[in-house]
């Protein structure tokens, strides 16, 4: 699970959810992981992932970094990362 800082929203528009899922799909392929379930809410998300030989932190780090860069760029946000 990842949550926005101060529990603020990390998904503002429908496109944000779709972009996040695209990033997630890319990371799942990159690290040869299987997604069993996910739940995206306005201010956080849960994912249930089965890993292969890679450590889960690598997937989560890249997912959070890529989505945060997208979010900050789309919303002209600077400062602390929200996701």
Question: What DSSP string describes 13-78?
Answer: SHHHHHHHHHHHHHHHHHTT-EEEEEEE-SSEEEEEEE-SSS-HHHHHHHHHHHHHHHHHHHTT--
Asked if the model's pLDDT at residue 78 lies above 90, the reply is no
Q: Determine the Cα–Cα distance for residues 52 and 27; give it in Å rounded to an integer.
A: 13
Query: How many domains does one find in the chain?
Result: 1
Dihedral angle sign, alpha carbons of residues 13, 18, 19, 21: positive
Full domain range(s) for residue 44: 2-72
CATH number at 48 reads 3.30.70
The answer to the question of residue 77 being in a domain is no
**What is the pLDDT at residue 79?**
57
14-30 and 56-74 helices cross at what angle (nearest 10)?
Answer: 150
The string of pLDDT tens digits covering residues 35-67 is: 999 999 999 999 999 998 878 999 999 999 999
Q: Does residue 23 lie in a domain region?
A: yes
Which of 25-29, 46-50, 68-72 comes out lowest in average pLDDT?
68-72
Is the pTM here over 0.85, yes or no? yes
Where is average pLDDT lowest: 1-5, 10-14, 25-29, 64-68?
1-5
Residue 20 belongs to some domain of the structure = yes
Q: Which residue has the higher pLDDT, 79 or 28?
A: 28
């Amino acid at each position: 699970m990842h949550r926005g800082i101060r529990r603020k929203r990390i998904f503002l528009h429908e496109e944000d959810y779709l972009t996040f899922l695209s990033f997630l799909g890319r990371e799942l392929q990159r690290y040869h992981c299987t997604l069993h379930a996910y739940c995206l809410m306005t201010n956080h998300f849960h994912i249930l992932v089965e890993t292969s030989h890679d450590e889960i932190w690598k997937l989560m780090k890249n997912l959070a970094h890529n989505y945060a860069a997208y979010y900050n760029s789309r919303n002209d946000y600077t400062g602390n990362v929200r996701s």
